[in-house]
Chains A and B, each alone.
Chain A
Amino acid sequence: MKRTRRSGFSLVEVLIALTILGLLTINIAMVSRTGSQAAESDLFRQLLDTEMDLTLDRIKLALMSASADNVYPQVPAPASESHIDFSTSLGVQGGVHVMGDPERIQWTPATAEKGGVFWTQSLGLPDERQIQWSRNVPILQNLETANERDDNDNGLVDEPGLSLHVEHAEDRELQVFVNLTVSKTDSRGQVVPRSRQVNITCRN
């Protein structure tokens, strides 16, 4: 009589396999967790950068067409302001240079710690229009504290999260310097700030 062979795994083999699988799974989980945290932070920074770049692009396009004579206030460094009033050129009609309705870019507080950047046209008038360009702008620039000192070595003192100051170039062109900080708290409770400065020449 022939003996039949039974297939399968013994208990010891299964236990060893499960142990090895468990260790592998823990390792994979740790690596993927670190990777996903890094990806999440990176994505978080990218989104903040996108918000900052979009806001700065809008400020740039608005101020490029502004007339230097209509920009107010014209505050030179180390002081700065968190708003700017201007008018942009609509072209020439009948030989006369036509300027658009007055516009304003300003930082408006929303909470005790941060606010938003708003663009307003015809401020205070019946046809006033307002668009919010950013909502995560803190009260002060990154690394700056209100102590009448230039803490972040950028030539400005106690500058706000949206700070604007001007310089007259050698040929008398008006240059507006915009410093913008956006910041948000990530899932781990850390505040992530992103800052950039752009320099815009008023073409009119």
Chain B
Amino acid sequence: MPNTSIMTFNILSILPVLILAGFGMMVLVVDVLSSRKMGEKNFLAYLSLIGVVIAAFLSKNFTGTTLFSFYGAYTIDNYSLFFQFVFLLCAGLTILISKNYVQRENINYGEYYTLILFSTIGMILMASGADLLNIFIGLEIMSISIYILVGMKRTRLTSNEASLKYFLLGAFSTGFLLYGIALVYGATGTISLRQIAVFIAGKGGVLDPLLLAGMGLIIVGIGFKIASAPFHAWVPDVYEGAPTAITAFMAVGPKAAGFAAFLRIFFIAFGQVHQDWEKIIWILAVLTMTTGNIIALIQTNIKRMLAYSSIAHAGYLLIALVAANNMSVSAILFYLLAYLFMNIGAFAIVIVISQKEDSFLKISDFSGLAYKHPRLAIAMTLFLLSMAGIPPTAGFVGKFYIFSSAIKSGYVLLAIIGVINSVIAVFYYLRVTVAMYMRGPEREFQPLTLSPFIFVAIIISIIGTIQLGIFPAKVLEIAQRSILLLR
């Protein structure tokens, strides 16, 4: 049990969240009051970026403190702060790659940035939630914002379809999650994760069927959000139909938030009954990696390919979840940060290469890129190699860490399946480099319009990918200090 003296209603603890909410609403109001044309509203991006930066500075102030505010419903510890950092970085980079994209695609509405900020709030609540309801509310705030963001391109049929699909399936999965929470509450009489753990310990680590069913339903609900197979069917269509910048955002943000909640629920509440859920997650991990990687092999659209690859990455992360040792928490944290850089970097390049109305998104459209825009091609290669887990990149250290945690707990077979999968994955990542370097151009490349915003985003991603690959020591240490306070 946490010390009761710090279990207060501490409004300061959610200051970053408040800032984000405030700036989000400010963007809306300023958007309405401004008389400029849609394409000229640069200040929307500036404003929301300022909000993210302020929130990041505020949350940095909390480092090292452990705080249970709102009577234990909201936790601040290094773990949630690490996630806050990931979410804010993700939101910031997304805003950077969005600015020119939304102008090009004519979707420069105020809501766009507001919803990004709001969904970031949802993610932060998920990572900080110390009880099931708080996590659920966070998940809803995040999801509903993203449902709308996916359909932001109102005039495009694919975008509408993606939004509807994501909404329907997402609502359905939320139902599962809520039902699971209800069952757990019915069985234990509490929604606090620590109280659930106490309850299970009181029963000698045996789950009654009600609790077991609740746990299973929670796995389904969160499994949907992190896009694990077999709950992944929505991913390719939604990722393809969504505005590309939003695809980048949702490939990282919700996934990271889902894992934040997953880890907290399963390591704290269900930590003692590891043997009851490790097998099911083991199977999920194998299914997720394999499905993602094998279907990615035959994709011709780069967004779909990256969608399936993101499914596969969720599978790798699940490996560490199965391992359930202290190493796996920091492995997941590190991997998510690495994934953030390489994924947003890759999508940023996709945005640069594609043209209005999201044309030129086929892998063959990258043919000959290396001879037209060599720097872009090198950057893209770096991100792809990192996703494939080739040293010296962030992705390699991340995979190394994840497989280490698996082997540490003795899951050798799972690690073997994992590495076989990463070999399969190499094949489709190489296809893009083959197109870029080894084939002649199949189309005229437009002269590059690299705005300073997206340029900065790409540079940050490159630095992140290389830094975490060559000098990961510092970040590894931070990740190791950010483990959950178990049990």
Do A and B interact with each other, yes or no?
Answer: no
On A, residues with C-beta under 8 Å from B are none
